[in-house]
Amino acid sequence: TCSFSHSPKGFPKLKNDTFLRAARGEETEHTPVWCMRQAGRYLPEFRETRAAQDFFATCRSPKLCCELTLQPLRRFPLDAAIIFSDILVVPQALGMEVVMVPGKGPTFTEPLKEVEDLLKLRQKVDVTAELGYVFQAITLTRHSLEGRVPLIGFSGAPWTLMSYMIEGGGSSTMAKAKSWLYRHPEASHQLLRLLADVIIDYLVGQVAAGAQALQLFESHAGHLGPEQFQEFALPYIRDIAQAVKSKLKEEALPLVPMIIFAKDAHYALRDLAHAGYEVVGLDWTIRPQEARAQTGKDVTLQGNLDPCALYAPKEKIGELVKKMLEAFGTQRYIANLGHGLYPDMNPENVGAFVEAVHAHSRHINKH
């Protein structure tokens, strides 16, 4: 249950640090595994908990976020928990209204249309005032986990958030947002900078609240080509890692491992490996050997089973996991999917994935 069983500061001692060790490049007995969107609609108990609530109301309830974060850990021996939240809480903190429309997904009531619309955004954001509910959820969940596994905090990256704020929701081309990059480069940088500054404070606040690792989601990297990525995404990704680390030092907070996940950005793997993150997350479209060759020896890789592989029979999932572990190697590696779990997936197949990672990696490490 999600209640304070310890004093707010004294967090329970961590019992399974495999995920953190792998993230830092230390040796592990088995390959750690967690799943993006592991707290999600594929679980009947998730649908039940969420049923009566508006999506963003759920995000604003520390108790519900805690419960949803813990649900997958009650079922599966995952090596990490990721706080239940959404990347769009950051645009909300800037003063934009986002509603969850059934069958359509997140929708901005008034997306940014003209450069002048930037003036409507809060130029100075007090993250504790605007996003304190996420910090409370992290603290509560960290206690309620009772040291079982580490807790990951996260944020969307500036370009991904900017694209949502201009498109007003999902889009197959991101044409409106990309047109800003070509037509209004200065205004684009102004918006990206504003977002980066909020994200930096937000991530530092998550660590202060109890997050033991951080993941930055550049989910829309694949809509950019190499040149636009170099100009409008990478500098902010780098800056966030550097600024978060220096602020954590300044505030005498733990230096937690950071993960960058830039979906479909194969062209940028080399740069991402040198962007200041301990872990580079990979989508399913890249070959493990290729990723290793491009990222070198000093970062841990995370990924990258095709989520749709979980529709396969369990034996097949086991074979695919074994192949993936052989290709990546069991060390300096965190097993995951190449994107989030889908709502119609069978929880038993998720369990088969997690167990296969543990069994095969232990076997490979012994022999």
Kindly report, residue by residue over 317-330, the tens digit of the pLDDT.
Answer: 999 999 999 999 99
Q: Is 344 a catalytic residue?
A: no
- Which one is catalytic: 21, 60, 164, 292? 164
Task: Identify whether the C-beta of residue 318 lies closer than 8 Å to the C-beta of residue 37.
Answer: no
- Which one is catalytic: 37, 60, 148, 332? 37
- CA 223 – CA 264 distance, rounded (Å): 8
pLDDT of res. 3: 66
pLDDT of res. 2: 74
- Which one is catalytic: 24, 86, 311, 362? 86
- Its pTM surpasses 0.85: yes
- CA 174 – CA 179 distance, rounded (Å): 8
Residue by residue, pLDDT tens for the chain (367 residues) are 676 554 456 999 999 999 999 999 999 999 999 999 999 999 999 999 998 789 999 999 999 999 999 999 999 999 999 999 999 999 999 999 999 998 899 999 999 999 999 999 999 999 999 999 999 999 999 999 999 999 999 999 999 999 999 999 999 999 999 999 999 999 999 999 999 999 999 999 999 999 999 999 999 999 999 999 999 999 999 999 999 999 999 999 999 999 999 999 999 999 999 999 999 999 999 999 999 999 999 999 999 999 999 999 999 999 999 999 999 999 999 999 999 999 999 999 999 999 999 999 999 999 9
- Return the amino acid letter for 264: D
pLDDT of res. 4: 58
CA torsion through residues 124, 128, 134, 139, sign? positive
pLDDT of res. 7: 47
Q: Is 50 a catalytic residue?
A: yes
Look up residue 103 and give its two tokens. 């069958």
Residue 185 contacts by C-beta under 8 Å, 6 or more apart in sequence? 231
Residue 189 contacts by C-beta under 8 Å, 6 or more apart in sequence? 232
Look up residue 102 and give its two tokens. 């059934």
CA angle 139, 33, 69 (to 5 degrees): 30
Domains, the chain, ranges and CATH?
17-366 (3.20.20.210)
Residue 362 contacts by C-beta under 8 Å, 6 or more apart in sequence? 29, 30
Q: Is 37 a catalytic residue?
A: yes
Task: Identify whether the C-beta of residue 237 lies closer than 8 Å to the C-beta of residue 279.
Answer: no
Q: Note the pLDDT tens digit of each residue in 175-193.
A: 999 999 999 999 999 999 9
- CA 214 – CA 204 distance, rounded (Å): 9
Closest alpha carbon to 268 in 183, 171, 157: 157
Q: How many residues does the chain have?
A: 367
- Which one is catalytic: 21, 50, 60, 148? 50
- Which one is catalytic: 41, 193, 238, 362? 41
Question: What are the DSSP E strand ranges found in 105-163?
Answer: 105-108, 151-156
